[in-house]
Amino acid sequence: MMSVRYLTAKLAQQIDEELMNVTGAFSLDQLMELAGLACAQTLATVYKKETHPRVLVCCGPGNQGGDGLVAARHLGMFGYLPTIWIPKPGSKEIYKRLQAQCVNMKIPVIPPSSETGPLQNALNESDVILDAIFGFSFKPPVRSPFDSALALISESKLPIVSVDIPSGWDVEKGNAAGVGLNPDVLISLTAPKEGAREFKGRHFLGGRFVTKAMEEKFSLHLPHYPNFDQIVELLPTTDSQKL
């Protein structure tokens, strides 16, 4: 069996566009809902709510942050106690709606601040982090307030679940610059990104909405999702078959 394809940033962008163009016909609402659900299910698979109830969901300003907001809502539904850190809320209408849905669930949102204190306090009261800060459109360098935030999050030594690409990593070159997070778990969406080749932790795939035709067009060689799950773990045996 061919190994799953690792995507360049450009290819990831192209697949996203094809999913949402006139032919693909998906709305961002749909894709984000399924992606965020997959993120929440991944965290819940690895960190049980009995041992890791308090999840700090860190959201960037882009679509990745939207995935984080969807995940926070589902984690709340699953019985976790999420808190959202969202220093630069996205300006898109969907972003505001997703945030409102979390507020309706009474999920606390840390007020934006130029100080690191509020994030530090939240880290002190969390059991695990969902990192939805930067996605596949991230370009270095990491800018304020995220530069100091990544350092604080790393220093916390809390377990980290990263969405799509660990924040601070180059989407294609990985953590060569050494400023990125070192997550324990990664949930790649649609297909893993080039930069994730060097990732050594537990690696899941989500985004069960890619048609066979699109999978073949882009030679994705996606693994088989079990039963009716929305996530599949990429096992080391598959990982060792990297091209």
138 annotated among ligand-binding-site residues: yes
Residue 23 is inside which H or E element, if any?
Answer: none
CB of residue 135 vs its own copies: minimum separation in angstroms?
20
Nearer to its own copies, 213 or 243 (CB): 213
Q: How far is CA 118 from CA 70, 83, 149, 155, 161, in A?
A: 22, 12, 11, 15, 21
Q: How big is the chain, counted in residues?
A: 243
Q: Which stretch binds its own copies (CB under 8 A): 29-37, 81-89, 133-141, 143-151?
A: 29-37
**Which residues in the 91-130 window bind its own copies by CB under 8 A?**
94, 96-98, 100-101, 104-106
Q: How far is CA 235 from CA 3, 92, 205, in A?
A: 11, 36, 11
136 annotated among ligand-binding-site residues: yes
Among 14, 121, 144, 211, binds its own copies (CB under 8 A): 211
Q: Does 33 bind its own copies (CB under 8 A)?
A: yes
Q: Does 227 bind its own copies (CB under 8 A)?
A: yes
The SS3 assignment for 57 reads: strand
Q: Does 200 bind its own copies (CB under 8 A)?
A: no
178 annotated among ligand-binding-site residues: no
- Strands 81-85, 109-110: parallel, antiparallel or unpaired by DSSP? parallel
Residue 16 is inside which H or E element, if any?
Answer: helix 9-20
Q: Does 74 bind its own copies (CB under 8 A)?
A: yes
227 annotated among ligand-binding-site residues: no
- Amino acid type, 146: F
Q: How far is CA 78 from the centre of its chain?
A: 18
- Other beta carbons within 10 angstroms of residue 103's beta carbon come to 11
Look at residues 183, 194, 138 and name the one whose alpha carbon lies nearest to residue 161.
183
Q: Does 51 bind its own copies (CB under 8 A)?
A: no
Among 7, 9, 12, 34, binds its own copies (CB under 8 A): 34
Q: Does 1 bind its own copies (CB under 8 A)?
A: no
113 annotated among ligand-binding-site residues: no
Look at residues 231, 173, 236, 177 and name the one whose alpha carbon lies nearest to residue 201.
236
Binding-site residue numbers for (6S)-NADPHX are 63-67, 135-141, 164
The site for its own copies (CB under 8 A) is made up of 23-27, 29-30, 33-34, 37, 40-41, 44-45, 73-74, 77-78, 94, 96-98, 100-101, 104-106, 208-209, 211-214, 225, 227-228
Binding-site residue numbers are 63-67, 131, 135-141, 164, 167
